[in-house]
């Protein structure tokens, strides 16, 4: 089985920085089900790590193109019964929850593009550093789906209601680094090719702080911020399952694969 994720530990001040590198070697870093599992395990591997206080997550030349619509396991969803489909759809929420609940401070270094599930992963992190020539996009609605993985409440906390609607509903709209910064979707914009360096510089500042106080502060802020998120988004897996059975979803995916404009019917 191919390894898509590599972890480096012991970096930076007092060796308190770790780097998680996600690279499928395909130039777009699409999130196949296996990639979701490996990224989840990477986050969980830090559960008993009391020497790492900051984790930087980075892609290769790009952060992620989102869920892999061409992956055989992913495409098998269309033939799954509802129960099997619901279990399979929990891979994404499990991933983002694992990264959000890490005790360490997490920083995303975004180069190239960050699309769909890539955005869902990015907003589950504590901080995001984005290259000036990179962009984000949330195409789920344009594919006849809903934005799930508990992403909507996370985006809402960052941007507010109007910007969240704008980012999610206007599916064809690219969000530039400048717009993402203005909208508060990212915290820092770096020169092209320098997002990782900027993320490491931020990580060094965090790593120089007292680790226990940092961890407890993160826990407090997250608990207060996300207290109602489960209540607000507990249905998004079922909404996704329902939407995936619609004619509009089938048309959206076919149009994407055929590189044409979709024709939605509301069915």
pLDDT tens-place string over residues 143-201? 777 788 889 999 999 999 999 999 998 866 899 999 999 999 999 999 999 999 999 99
| Total structural domains within the chain | 1
pLDDT at 235: 75
Query: Is residue 140 a part of any domain in this protein?
Result: yes
Query: Is residue 158 a part of any domain in this protein?
Result: yes
Tell me the percentage of the chain whose pLDDT exceeds 70: 93
As a whole number, mean pLDDT of residues 85-89 equals: 74
**Which residue range forms the structural domain that includes residue 118?**
5-213+230-257
As a whole number, mean pLDDT of residues 253-258 equals: 78
pTM above 0.95, yes or no: no
Q: What is the CATH number of the domain that holds 134?
A: 3.90.226.10
pLDDT at 74 over 70: no
**Token pair belonging to 253:** 């995916």
Query: Is residue 62 a part of any domain in this protein?
Result: yes
Taking the C-alpha atoms of residue 6 and residue 131, their distance in angstroms, rounded to an integer, is 22
pLDDT at 109 over 70: yes
Query: Is residue 266 a part of any domain in this protein?
Result: no
Rounded CA Rg of the chain: 18
Query: Is residue 193 a part of any domain in this protein?
Result: yes
**How do 66-67 and 113-115 pair as beta strands?**
unpaired
Query: Is residue 171 a part of any domain in this protein?
Result: yes
In Å, the largest CA–CA distance within the chain is 58
As a whole number, mean pLDDT of residues 103-108 equals: 98
Query: Is residue 196 a part of any domain in this protein?
Result: yes
Beta-strand (E) ranges in 47-164? 54-58, 66-67, 105-110, 113-115, 127-131, 135-137
Query: Is residue 208 a part of any domain in this protein?
Result: yes
Question: What is the b/e burial string over 220-240, where b = at least 16 CB atoms within 10 angstroms of the residue's CB?
Answer: eeeeeebeebeeebeebbeeb
List residues bridging with 17 in a β-sheet. Answer: 11, 54
Distances (CA, A) of 207 to 21, 107, 126, 197, 246: 19, 12, 14, 15, 48
Specify whether the CB–CB gap between 46 and 103 falls below 8 A.
Answer: yes
């Amino acid at each position: 089985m191919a390894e898509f994720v590599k972890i480096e530990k012991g970096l930076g001040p007092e060796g308190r920085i770790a780097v998680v590198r996600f690279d499928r070697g395909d130039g777009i870093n699409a999130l196949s089900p296996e990639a979701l599992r490996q990224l989840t395990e990477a986050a969980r591997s830090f559960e008993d790590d009391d020497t790492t206080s900051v984790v930087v997550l980075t892609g290769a030349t790009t952060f992620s193109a989102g869920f892999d619509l061409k992956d055989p396991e992913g495409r098998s969803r269309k033939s799954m019964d509802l129960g099997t489909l619901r279990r399979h759809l929990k891979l994404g929420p499990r991933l983002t929850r694992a990264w959000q609940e890490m005790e360490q401070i997490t920083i995303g270094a975004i180069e190239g593009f960050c699309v769909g599930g890539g955005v869902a992963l990015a907003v589950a992190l504590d901080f995001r550093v984005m290259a000036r020539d990179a962009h984000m996009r949330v195409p789920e609605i344009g594919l006849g789906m809903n934005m799930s993985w508990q992403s909507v409440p996370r985006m809402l906390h960052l941007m507010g209601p109007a910007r969240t609607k704008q980012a999610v509903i206007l599916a064809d709209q690219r969000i530039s680094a400048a717009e993402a910064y203005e909208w508060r979707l990212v915290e820092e914009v770096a020169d092209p090719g320098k997002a990782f360096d900027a993320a490491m510089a931020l990580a060094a500042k965090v790593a120089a702080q007292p680790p226990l106080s940092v961890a407890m502060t993160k826990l407090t802020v997250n608990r207060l911020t996300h207290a109602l998120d489960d209540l607000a988004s507990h249905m998004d897996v079922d909404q996704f399952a329902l939407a995936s059975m619609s004619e509009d979803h089938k048309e959206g995916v076919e149009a994407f694969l055929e590189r044409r404009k979709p024709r939605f019917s509301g069915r």
